[in-house]
Structure 1
Amino acid sequence: MSNNELMDGELEKIEIALLLEGIYRRYGYDFRNYSYASIRRRIWHRIHLEGAANVSSLQERVMHDFEAFQRLLNDLVIPVTEMFRDPEMYLALRRDVLPALRMLPYIRIWHAGCSTGEEAYSMSILLHEEGLLEKSRIYATDINEAALKRANERTIPIDRMKLYTKNYQAAGGQHTFSDYYVSDHGIVMLKPFLSRNIVFARHNLVTDRSFNEFHVIMCRNVMIYFNNELREQVHQLFYDSLSPKGYLILGGKESLSFTPMADRYETLNDQHRIFRKAR
């Protein structure tokens, strides 16, 4: 690699650092400790779509144009979710977690990074089928207000119904998936009772603190975009937010290994990343 290429690479890092600092100060969204490779790729995706010349040109645009910022924000927090994603994990929840929750007088669950709400609604269906929904409260949070708005609307894409039905059945569904939605003129809407015990709210894992004590925290495939420092910070937040013997559920590519929290949990199901707070 030539000296010019090295200098260009260092300049780009400075530009990206300034862009992320500007976003934090101007709009309150903190991406400064996200994985550099991931954040760089998403920034350049937006640069090309905007027809900007470089990172600094994009920064000038998003600092002065809120709609340009919203377009970049949607790139930085790409929602990747589906109902009953990884169905075997929901089978493990039925078998390994819900029997213990059944003994509690009231159940509090936090879906951190809930995106458009599909996994929160999946949990609602699961609790309903196990007779636990009425004594449960699901707090589903995300930093993306547009995603939260969609979650509150209870609509799901009609082109995903085949996949969602397959996932539901593989997750041990006790009824037919069609029991939980109505379809009218191409619009599929989940039934109102599924949202009755869900609170959708904005929460930033990077800057906001704990807001309750939970028996279950589910945060799947969110921290893969964080660097080690931010990942450890969020793990501390989750630990502080869990009740004694509470459950932490991570994504398949995530782990507690090599984190300061590793010895504070017992592994309940390593394949599906289900951990129980030990102390």
Structure 2
Amino acid sequence: MTGPLDTDDQDDPPPPAAMASARDALALETIEVDLFVEALFRRYGYDFRDYGKASLTRRVRNLATGFGAATISDLTARMLHAPERLPDIISGLSVPVSEFFRDPHVFLALKERVFPLLASYPEINIWQAGCAHGEEIYSLAILLTEAGLYERTRIFATDISKAALNRAAEGIYPLQEAREAGRRYRAAGGSASFSDYFHARYELMKLDQRLAANVTFAEHNLVTDGVFCEAHLVLCRNVLIYFTTPLQDKVLQRFAQSLVRGGFLCIGTRENLEFSQARNRFQLIDGAAQLYRLLPGAGGA
């Protein structure tokens, strides 16, 4: 009779042949992902070569499954010979994850520490890079409206994914998100009611289109495209975490070049400039919000 302490055969390591097979499969997958990324760049100009390998590999795997491809090499062949599927490829490789007033303390910091200074400009340009499905765009537009700044503000909302941009421009979201969005709106310093800014119908909410009146939605690739506009505030939240350090430095340099003298940069709460080459270009304004200001002479527009 086997007792409760008899663990023989329960924790035996896999046989050497199985381990060798697993290592070989992993090495082969790495080669396939590298070839896929190189083919995507050479065929269409989208450069994912300096994206974080672990997250990129997961997304390529998911793409292969979604396309019904037997292998990543099969996915590569389909991508090369079916350019009409490129929007689906780019949409699958991007990470359009966001929510209204995500990290409310960040929006509160913008309202209290940045908006009063933006108010000194007759015209205000804001660049939201990696806008995903647009929740943060509308969140920002709401607070700018309540601060009396929206009428003289132009927001440039960019993303690599055309599908994400189309959803952002529609401004339609599940109604079930409204209650939690309203809670975060109040925590972000909202002065009215979140329900004032959308119309509900068929379990969906459509944001008031006046919030998009001063928004320009545009495709832009942070890896290969240049400075997008002259901005007083750049927001790029939870995008840099998917880049390698050299690519982060390249993008941050582009943001510095885009900002006006004394302009502001806001990045994700899990990101920071501590180990970046750009750390000497910016002054930390709020560590919890990862809010920075461009130092004088640091390459502003």
The partner residue of 1:42 within 59, 81, 84 is 59
Query: How far has the Cα of 1:75 moved from its partner?
Result: 2.2
Task: Determine which structure has more spread, i.e. the larger CA radius of gyration.
Answer: 2
Offset of 1:269 from its aligned partner? 0.1
Query: What is residue 120 of structure 1 aligned with on the other side?
Result: 137
The residue aligned with 1:56 is 73
User: How many percent identity over aligned positions?
Assistant: 42
Match of 1:258 in 2: 275
| Aligned with residue 102 of structure 2, among 85, 106, 127 | 85
Distance between the aligned counterparts of 1:198 and 1:50, measured in 2?
34
Q: 2:250 corresponds to which residue?
A: 233
Q: Which amino acid aligns with 1:19?
A: F
Per the TM alignment, residue 70 of structure 1 is displaced from its structure 2 partner at its CA by 3.8
The DSSP-based 3-state class of the residue aligned with 2:42 is helix
Q: Which residue of 2 aligns with 1:151?
A: 168
Judge conservation of contact 2:226–2:254 (CA < 8 Å) in 1: yes
Shift of residue 5, structure 1, vs aligned partner: 4.9
Query: What's the CA shift string for 1:76-135, capped at 9, x where partnerless?
Result: 112101111111111111111111111111111000000111111111111100011111
- 1:213-246 deviation digits (Å, cap 9, x = unpaired): 1110000000111111111110110011011110
Amino acid at match of 2:227: S
TM-score, with length taken from structure 1: 0.94
* Equivalent residues in 2 for 1:1-279, closer than 5 Å: 5-66=22-83, 68-279=85-296
SS of the counterpart of 1:57?
helix
SS in 2 for 1:261: helix
Would you say how many aligned residue pairs link Structure 1 and Structure 2? Answer: 279
Gaps of 5+ in 1: none
- Structure 2 counterpart SS, 1:232: helix
SS of equivalent to 2:272: coil
Distance in 1 separating the partners of 2:132 and 2:220: 11
Alignment RMSD, CA only?
1.7
Distance in 2, matches of 1:72 and 1:239, equals 30
| Distance (Å, rounded) in 2 between the aligned partners of 1:28 and 1:163 | 39
Quote the Cα distance in structure 2 between the aligned partners of 1:4 and 1:189.
52
Q: Distance in 1 between matches of 2:244 and 2:228?
A: 24
What whole-Å deviation, never above 9, does each CA across 1:225-273 have from its counterpart, x for those lacking one? 1111111110110011011110000001100011111111111000110
Give, in angstroms, the shift of residue 73 of structure 1. 2.6
Q: Which residue identity does 1:38 align to in structure 2?
A: S
Structure 2: stretches of 5+ with no match in the other structure:
1-15, 297-301
Question: Is the contact between residue 63 and residue 69 of structure 1 (CA under 8 Å) also seen in structure 2?
Answer: no
Distance 1:213 1:76 in 2: 28
Task: Give the CA deviation at 1:171.
Answer: 0.9
